Amino acid sequence: MKHAINWFEIPSENFDRATAFYETLLGTPTKRELLGDIPNAILYTEQNERREAVGGSLVFNPALKPGNAGVVPYLNCDGKLDAVLGRVSAAGGTVVLPKVDTPFGSLAIIMDSEGNKIGLHSA
């Protein structure tokens, strides 16, 4: 299946803090790898392993800076959006837009531990 997006990177200034944030938020471990000489923490799912889903990672790359004024990637929280939103504060983030129901499912927007604006979606 072709997707409009095939990979995304979420920049971090503190790689360990960002990795802990997303592992806590999503309730799943990341897979740390060096891609070239850039530390990445792959947001891992079984679908990624089988190349059936869009993949992405947290990166510690001096050329990329965290921020809240650019593109907003949406992470799949299918069936778990309420639980994920319940972990945002404890993980070190803030909820920017609480859960909203749309014709395409429910979504919310958070600010992560690094200052990135991140969307959450559940179909």
Going from N- to C-terminal start, the domains of the chain cover: 7-122
Quick one: residue 46, left, alpha or beta (phi over 0 = left, psi -120 to 50 = alpha)? alpha
pLDDT of 30: 94
Query: Is the pLDDT score of 40 beyond 90?
Result: yes
Q: State whether residue 50 is helix, strand or coil.
A: coil
Q: Are 99 and 108 in contact (CB under 8 A)?
A: yes
pTM for the complete prediction? Answer: 0.84
Tell me how far apart the alpha carbons of residues 56 and 101 are, in angstroms, rounded to a whole number. 25
pLDDT band of residue 6 (cuts 50, 70, 90) is confident
Q: Look at the domain 7-122 and name its fold.
A: 2,3-Dihydroxybiphenyl 1,2-Dioxygenase; domain 1 (3.10.180)
What's at 84, amino acid-wise? V
Which phi and psi (to 5°) does residue 32 adopt? Answer: -80, 130
pLDDT tens string 47-92: 556 566 778 899 999 999 999 998 899 999 989 999 999 999 999 9
86 sits in which H/E element: helix 81-91
